[in-house]
Each structure stands twice: as C-alpha cells, then as structure tokens.
Structure 1
C-alpha cells in the first residue's frame, strides 16, 4: 500500500499538515555567486573529516602508536559525522538553517583548533569526534539549496553544490598530505580552523535566511525518522547499499598512507595525498551519473557503480604493487562509489518530497556508519594481513553492496 503522510503522522507536525508554513520563504532564483558559495562551503567543511587520512602515519609517530591505533582518528571523525547527521541535521527542518549552520561552523573552528594543539592522543580523538559532529553542515546546506531553488533549476543547483562536496572530499587528502609533509600534521588543523572562521563571515553576509517548515517537537521530529525507515523499503535499501560501498571506500583510503610509506614504495604523506587528486575523477563523473540515472533509472546506475568498484579492487589486489595499478584502481573506485552515491540520493529524494532533509539524514547516517566500520576493519586488515587482506576486505564489502542492491526489499 502506498505510503501517505497524514496530519497526525510523525512526518508532519502534531497540529498542522506537512506543508510549508506561512513564514517559509518562497523559492526564488539563486544567483551564480551564491550557488558557488554554497558549493565551496560544502567542499571546505566536508574536508574537515578527511584531512587526517593522509596524516595518520605522522600522527602515529607523534604519539608512538601502531598503525591500527592511529587509524582510530579517522574512525572517530566519521563516528562524529554520523552522530551529527543523526542528531543535528534533522533540526534543519525545525530551526532556522542559517543560524544553525553558523553556530556549527564556529564550533567546528574551535574543535579544529583543539585538535591542532592536542597534547595527547585521547584529546585528539575527542576533538576528532567534535569535528565530525560540527562538520555536518553540508547535509543542511544541500537541502537548503534544493528548497530555495525554483523547480526548473533545482537539479542544476543541487548538482553543482554536490560537486563542491565531492571535490572537497577528494582534494582534502591532497592538500593535507602536502601540508603534512612540509609543515607537519598540526598545521593542517590550524589552517582548517581559520577556513571555518572565514566561512562564518562569508555566510553571515551572503546566505539568506531559511525558515523551517516543521513546527513540532524535537521528539516528534526524531520519531519521524523511524517512520520513514519503517515505511520506505527503498530508503532502507539505499542506506544499506551506501553503507556497504562507503565501507569499501574507507577501507582503501584509511590504509593507503600506510601502504605507500611501507617497503613497497617508501613514499611520504604528500604522495598519499596526491592520490586524492587522482580520485577527483569521481567528482567529475557525478553529473554524468545523475544524467544517466534520469535516463536509464537509478537502479541501472547503482549496479554500474558497484561493478566498477569490484573491478577496482581486482586491479588493486593484483596490480597494486605498481603505481599504475594503484592509479587505475583509485579512479575506478572513486567513480563507482560516487556514481552509486548520487544515484542513491536521486532515488530517495523522490520518495517523500516534504521530508527530504530527514530522508537525507537516514541515508547519510547509514552511509557514514558504513564508513566508520570500514575504517576500523581496514586498520585491522592492514595490521593482520597487509595489502592483500585490505583488498579482499574491500571487495567483500562491495560484494555485500551488490547482494543488497539486487535482492533486499524487492518484490
């Protein structure tokens, strides 16, 4: 039976239907400067989560830690981001988004500064959790862009903002690897804190206010997440596929710095970061993935993305001892993961239009939960089995994504 959203449903407020309130802004044309500012903001903020990955070996040496222990910094940041998406992002339907985002960015600046001057590994881990929680701003900004854009321009606006986010994910590793190699890992967190303060000033000046459409309580808001999960099998399937494939993605990126600095190559963190630049092909493929999903259907593009990720791990496993093999594997893995991610989002946003922020919360919470699991599992695989174990684990997560996509929640 088709899901409906009644006035008394947790998807709406207890006293009013789930339509925009009278105070909500009418969607209007967004000039290119504002759209680009949103895209740049997404890229710079999401980068906070990934700066540490090429720096894990350097961090481990600072605190005299094993590689598997140092990799917990990446896990802590992703766990924090997951908590931010689950507990904070739904507030975008309930509170004024601009004010909420500015407060989060100020907090992120403080957490980055705390990480830069952390005297112990425990303090750095705690700061990393806070960085993750407070860097969930892009998951508020993307639905805001979709809401403010007129229907005829919505796809173009959201696509451009998402491209900024994807490029930020990938180039953050390149930048942090270079900074870490020349200025030390602490300098990267100092630079990141300064960028957050700069964004606060720019967004306070340029970003319009965006009044919420949900007037119920926080408890009813959170309850609606469970309703969405229970009533939307396509949402559950997308979240599980995204979680499995992002786990495979994180297995690779969490261990790459250790592999490149090992006997096989002997490279530094700057080279590990350079592979993020190579992975930017994934971001370039995002618009094509969206177009293909529109013409061939999301399921087709999701299957194609999973297949590319499987091929990538086959190349990394059998050809990863050569730089050319690593480069080809990185390109295919990033294209496959990003194509699947964009297609999953295209699918879920069509389910319940008036609950897009909460749909995004459910999906992205699952997505980054998978990333956290992949980071932990990747560190353990590297410690106990080296590169072959890493590639086998990544391929296993990818195979799980295929099985879920093919069989889960389908009649």
Structure 2
C-alpha cells in the first residue's frame, strides 16, 4: 500500500488516479443535484408545493456548506484516505435513505446527510493539489474541478433521462450504488497521506476564521466565489419549472438534457487551471466576471427562445468555472500547509452563495417569474464586477 509523506518529492500523481479522483468528486457533488430536473415530478408525487420541492436544493447546499466548514478541516488532522472513504460511504447511506423516503421530511434528512458528507469532494480537490508536482498543480486542480462541474451538470441529464424509464427513487438508489463502487476503487488506488498540523479540532475551526482575518486574498476570492455560485443556482433551481410549463412543456428527460449543454462549460476548468499555471489567474477571473453579467442577455429571452437559453447556459457555466478554478488556485498558493482549511473557508462561502441563489429562486419565481430571476441575477453579477474591480486590483501584486 502506497504511503506519501509531506516531504516526499518522488511521488507522482498518475493520470488514471487523477481521473478516478475527478470521477469521485463528480459523483459526490452530483448527489446534491439529482433532484433538480425532477422537482416538478417530486412535487406532484409527494403532493407538495413547488417551493417545498425546491427546498431540497437549498437543504443540499446548506448541508454541503456545513460539511465544508466542519468536516473538511479534519483532513489537516487525520489520514486523508481514511477520511475520504468514510465520508463517501456515509454519503452513499444518505442517498439510500432518500431512495426509501416515504415523504418530504425523511427525504430532507437523507438529502442533508448526503450533503454534509459529499463535502468529501473538497477533501479530494486539495489532495490532488498536494499530490501533484508544483508545476502541474493548476492542471490537476482544473482536472478534478472539471469532474466536479460535470458531476453537477450531468447529474441533471442522468436523473432526467432515467426518470422516463425508472422512478425518481430508483435514481437515488442507483446513485448510492455508484458511490459505493467508486469508494471501493478509491480504497485500492489512493495513497495514504497525513500531515498533522498539531492542533485540536476546535483550534482548527478557529484557525479557519483566522485565515479570513489574515488573508485579504481569501476574503476577496471567497466573496467572488459566493456571488458566482449564487448566480449558478439562481439559474438552475427554477429551470425545471420554466421548461415544464408552456410554451416548452418538457418532460423530466428533456429537462435533464440541458445539463449536457452546460457540461461544455466544464472544459473551462482545465483552461483556467492552465492559465493559473502561467500566472494569468487574475485575467481569467476578470473574464469570468464579465461573462457572468453578459450571459444574462440571452438568458433574458429563455422563456421564448431555446437558442438563447442554450447560449446562455454555455456562457454561464463557462464563466462560473473561470472564476472558481482561478479562485482556488489563488488560495491554494497562500499557505500550502493550510490548504484544507483555506479550501474549507472558501468553499463554505461558495456553497452558502449557492444556497442563497436557490432560496432567492424559490422565493422569486412563483411571484416574479423569469423576469424577476433575470433582474436579481443582473444585480448580483454587477456586484461581482465591482468586487472584482476593487479587490483584484488591490491584491494583484500579492497573488495571481
């Protein structure tokens, strides 16, 4: 069994292992998004409102944020491989519970358990950065983040497609099986790694807060990440309701196909990683922030134009990845010995932004429709441009 130490300069992260880590990251995060194209069906079958059904997405993202804050820093205390395996198995159990849930309360419990433990994805990302050679770190992070975004987006396509053949419960059951199989593969392939920072758990959590105080780059990048993922969720959460209503009237399988359109944006993750390796992370961030605003021009016509909707989806997911991967590469370079805590702080803010976007969508869409979604998105994207213009200028000399 391979064991890697923090001072091991001979270990090389293989392409197959990197691919497996990307797959595991995608499966873990996907578990929070299978419900999105199924919301209308779940609402009908469980006899609940659309807002109650949309709460599944909000709960998933809030619990994921809790896992990021409370569980990811533990990777700086314990052996990484063991932590990854335990969290993957618990996330699988949450999916199985959701599959068997007779009503919304137990479905929310299963969703919360899966959400908390699927934070394992953000143990895998910095682990890949740690195992990779320094000159390839951006590429490794980009590859794993491609897996993460593909998991989020393809979860919709897979769930929507299978719903025409199976029940929504079967989709959760199959997802649990896939997670278990991936966990077994990780148990065989991952090296053991431990780098104890010499802190107690409470001190470790406190140090996450301290990092925000001490690192202005982390504060700026976390705020940009929060805004970008809020925009991502603001779009994807109400999309199933938009597409299931006239003039589209699409079924779950057709709605899920839109995840394939957005998946093309995952290619930006590798591109952003390579830009960061060449010292152009700030340029990638600024481009992403600009596109986050511009994409809402075609998305404004989404209720009547399928072409505009598809164009907007591609631009939105491209922009989110440019900002996100650039953010992660910037914070990982701050303190290599604190990557898990830096990642925990950043990703907690990131998914709090996602939960905010889902909540805003669930609140706005029933009353203001798609025009309300677009207006809110333009305001948030404008805020992101302001934060980027001020924050990246002030800290551009500090880190790219």
Same fold, judged at TM 0.5 (above): yes
2:272 aligned residue: 289
Could you tell me how far apart the structure 1 residues matched to 2:216 and 2:94 are?
A: 37
2:398 aligned residue: none
Q: Does 1:357 align with 2:340?
A: yes
Cα displacement (A) at 1:293: 4.1
2:106 aligned residue: 123
TM-score w.r.t. length of structure 1: 0.91
Cα gap change, 1:285/1:409 in structure 2, threshold over 3 Å: closer, same or farther? closer
2:8 aligned residue: 26
CA deviations over 1:125-152 (Å, ceiling 9, x no partner): 1211111001111111111122222324
Cα displacement (A) at 1:297: 3.0
Q: How many residues align?
A: 390
Cα gap change, 1:376/1:180 in structure 2, threshold over 3 Å: closer, same or farther? same
**Is the contact made by 1:25 and 1:210 (CA closer than 8 Å) also made in structure 2?**
no
Cα displacement (A) at 1:24: 4.3
1:335 aligned residue: 318
CA deviations over 1:22-69 (Å, ceiling 9, x no partner): 964625012222221111111111111111111111111112122112
Cα displacement (A) at 1:226: 1.3
Cα gap change, 1:409/1:153 in structure 2, threshold over 3 Å: closer, same or farther? closer
**Is the contact made by 2:284 and 2:326 (CA closer than 8 Å) also made in structure 1?**
yes
**Is the contact made by 1:242 and 1:401 (CA closer than 8 Å) also made in structure 2?**
no
Cα displacement (A) at 1:181: 2.7
1:163 aligned residue: 146
Q: Does 1:273 align with 2:256?
A: yes
**Is the contact made by 1:249 and 1:394 (CA closer than 8 Å) also made in structure 2?**
no
> What is the RMSD computed on CA atoms of the aligned residues?
1.7
Cα gap change, 1:307/1:183 in structure 2, threshold over 3 Å: closer, same or farther? same
SS at match of 2:295: helix
Q: Which of 23, 38, 57 is the matching residue for 1:74? A: 57
Could you tell me how far apart the structure 2 residues matched to 1:24 and 1:232 are?
A: 23
Cα gap change, 1:80/1:141 in structure 2, threshold over 3 Å: closer, same or farther? same
**Is the contact made by 1:309 and 1:336 (CA closer than 8 Å) also made in structure 2?**
yes
CA deviations over 1:367-402 (Å, ceiling 9, x no partner): 000000100110111111111111112222212211
**Is the contact made by 2:282 and 2:392 (CA closer than 8 Å) also made in structure 1?**
no
Could you tell me how far apart the structure 2 residues matched to 1:376 and 1:162 are?
A: 25
* More off after superposition, 128-137 vs 149-158: 149-158
SS at match of 2:192: coil
Q: Which of 348, 352, 356 is the matching residue for 1:369? A: 352
SS at match of 1:119: coil
1:86 aligned residue: 69
Q: Does 1:213 align with 2:204?
A: no
Cα gap change, 1:166/1:319 in structure 2, threshold over 3 Å: closer, same or farther? closer
1:42 aligned residue: 25
* Structure-to-structure mapping, 1:183-202, within 5 angstroms: 183-202=166-185
Could you tell me how far apart the structure 1 residues matched to 2:91 and 2:214 are?
A: 35
Could you tell me how far apart the structure 1 residues matched to 2:6 and 2:175 are?
A: 33
Cα displacement (A) at 1:246: 0.7
- Gap runs ≥5 in structure 1: 1-21
1:141 aligned residue: 124
Could you tell me how far apart the structure 1 residues matched to 2:148 and 2:29 are?
A: 7
Cα displacement (A) at 1:264: 2.1
CA deviations over 1:161-208 (Å, ceiling 9, x no partner): 222222112111111111123212111100111011112211111111
Could you tell me how far apart the structure 2 residues matched to 1:185 and 1:298 are?
A: 40
1:98 aligned residue: 81
**Is the contact made by 2:142 and 2:271 (CA closer than 8 Å) also made in structure 1?**
no
